[in-house]
Structure 1
Amino acid sequence: MVPPLALDIDGTLTTPEHTIDPRTLSLLASWEAPVVLATGKAFPYPVALCHFAGVPERVIAENGGVAMADGDLTYAGDPERVDAAVEAFEARGGDLGWDGVDTVNRWRETEVAASRTADEALLRAVAEEFDLAFLDTGYAYHLTSADTSKGAALGGVAERVGYAPEDFVAVGDSENDASMFDVAGEAYAVANADETAKGAADHVLERGYVDGTLDALSRVRERAP
C-alpha cells in the first residue's frame, strides 16, 4: 500500500503562477492512504481544497497553529501574544502590507501573516521581543508561537488517522516545512524550495512546484508493494 502523505500547498501543489494545478485534485482523490494538507494559510483554505477534491478534511493550517483530522479540531500557540506583538509592530510604524480587506488574516486564529513588503527588520525585532517565531515562507512573513510548527501538528494528526509521523511522506518548499521533514519518514523538497527546506529534505527534486510533487509521488507509488 502507498504511505500517507503530508503535503504543503503553495509552491508544492501549485503552478509558478500560484494557482492550483488541476492535476492536484485528481492526485488527492486517487491516493489510497490519508493525505494531510499542511499550509501556512488560514484554516478555511486547506479545508476548501479538501472539499473540492472530494477527500476527507485532514489539514494543518497556520504553520501548525490549527489542525484537524476526522472531526477532531485542535489549536496550538498563544494568539494573545501574537496580537500584542502586532500592536507593538504597528505602534512603531509597521504595516502588515495588505491593501483593502485583509483576507490573508481575516480567518487566522493563532498567528499573523504580513506581506513581504512589510518592514522585515522591525517585524523580526518584535518577534524576538515577544518570544515568537518569525517565518519567511517566500509568500509572506509569519509571526507565530515558538513552539508551534507543522512538524509538531503532524504528530497529533498522524495519531488521529492511525499512523505514526514516520509513516508519512512529506513534500514541501519552504522553511516552515523543515519541521515536517524532520518527523516524516521520507521528505522531498521541490526544486523551487528554499535552502532551509532543501537542507532538511531527504531528496531534492529536479522539477519544481506541482510537477516536482507529481514526480516524487510517482516514485513513491512505483515502489509500493
Structure 2
Amino acid sequence: MTDLPPLALDIDGTLTRPSGHGIDPRVFDPLGEWPAPVVLATGKAFPYPIALCDFLDVEHLVVAENGGVAVAGDDVHVHGAGDRIDDVAAAIRDAGHDLGWGEADLVNRWRETELAVRRSVPADPLRALAAEFDLAFVDTGYAYHLKPRDVSKGRALERVAAAVDRDPASFVAVGDSENDVSTFDVVDESYAVANADDAARAAATTVLDAAHADGTLAALDAVRDSRA
C-alpha cells in the first residue's frame, strides 16, 4: 500500500452516530491509527475539536468555528470579528429573540470568532442583522452561524496544511454541509456523506451512499483501496 493521504474531516453529521447525535465510537480506531495528519474541521467552538483530538489520540490539528480558528500544535491562529459578535448578539436579543441555547449557552460560551444561533430562531432577521454587521450567514444544518466574511474552513485548512508541510490539495475531505464547500474546493478528493445538503453534494468529487459515520468509514475504505 502506498502512503495514505492526510484527512480533513467535519464532525457533526460526519463522525456522528446514525441518529446524528454523538460521536460514533467506530471512528476512534481508524482515525487514531491513520498514518497521516488528521485535521478536524468543524463549526464547533474551539475547545470541542481539541478535546476530540485528545480522545482520538491524534495531534492537535484543528479548524474550528467555520475557519475562525486554525490550530497546528503550538500555532494557534484566531481570526476574530472584534466587537461585532457581541454587538450582533445584543441586536438579536433587542429584536425579541434569544440565541436558543438557554441561560448557560454552552454553545457560545467558549466561542471566540463567531456566533451560533439555534435554527428555531427565524432565519430572515438573522440574515438581515448579519448584513448590517458585515458578517456572513451560514446554515450548517445544525445551527445558524454569523461569522466574518473573510474566513472559511478551506482557508484555515490551507494554514494548517502549511504548518504540517503538506499541500492542501493532497488532503482528502469528508463533510456534509455548505460550510464544507470551501474545504472541498481546496482539496483534490472530497466526499459528501449521504445526509449532506445540496451545496456539499454539488461540491464533492464523490457522494456516498452511506450517511454520517457510516459514510466516513466508507470513504476511508475507498481511500485505502484506491492506494493499495
Q: Which TM bucket (shorter chain)?
A: over 0.9
Task: Choose the corresponding residue for 2:17, options 15, 18, 26.
Answer: 15
Give runs of aligned pairs for residues 112-151 of structure 1, distance below 5 A.
112-151=115-154
RMSD after superposition: 1.0
User: Distance between the aligned counterparts of 1:223 and 1:116, measured in 2?
Assistant: 39
Give runs of aligned pairs for residues 24-173 of structure 1, distance below 5 A.
24-173=27-176
Moved over 4 A (4+): none
User: Distance between the aligned counterparts of 2:51 and 2:62, measured in 1?
Assistant: 10
- Name the SS of the counterpart of 2:100 in structure 1: coil
User: Distance between the aligned counterparts of 1:9 and 1:123, measured in 2?
Assistant: 24
User: Distance between the aligned counterparts of 1:139 and 1:16, measured in 2?
Assistant: 15
User: Distance between the aligned counterparts of 1:149 and 1:83, measured in 2?
Assistant: 20
User: Distance between the aligned counterparts of 2:213 and 2:101, measured in 1?
Assistant: 27
State the partner residue of 2:219: 216
- 1:94 Cα shift? 2.1
User: Distance between the aligned counterparts of 1:220 and 1:128, measured in 2?
Assistant: 40
Tell me the alpha carbon deviations over residues 168-204 of structure 1, each in whole angstroms, 9 at most, x when there is no partner. 0000001100000000121100000000111111110
Tell me the alpha carbon deviations over residues 98-155 of structure 1, each in whole angstroms, 9 at most, x when there is no partner. 1231100010000010001112111111011111111111111100000111001001
Q: Is the 8 A contact 1:79 1:111 kept in 2?
A: no
User: Distance between the aligned counterparts of 2:171 and 2:106, measured in 1?
Assistant: 31
Change (3 A) 1:106 1:88: same
- 1:79 Cα shift? 3.8
TM-score normalised according to structure 1 size: 0.97
Q: Is the 8 A contact 1:77 1:147 kept in 2?
A: no
Tell me the alpha carbon deviations over residues 56-92 of structure 1, each in whole angstroms, 9 at most, x when there is no partner. 1110100000110121100124142222222222112
Q: Is the 8 A contact 2:108 2:116 kept in 1?
A: yes
State the partner residue of 2:5: 3
User: Distance between the aligned counterparts of 1:27 and 1:132, measured in 2?
Assistant: 37
Tell me the alpha carbon deviations over residues 25-57 of structure 1, each in whole angstroms, 9 at most, x when there is no partner. 112111110000000000111011110111111
User: Distance between the aligned counterparts of 1:142 and 1:27, measured in 2?
Assistant: 30
Query: Gaps spanning 5+ residues in structure 2: where?
Result: none
Q: Is the 8 A contact 1:82 1:145 kept in 2?
A: no
Q: Is the 8 A contact 1:11 1:210 kept in 2?
A: yes
2:14 partner amino acid: T
User: Distance between the aligned counterparts of 1:80 and 1:121, measured in 2?
Assistant: 22
Percent identical: 59
Query: Gaps spanning 5+ residues in structure 1: where?
Result: none
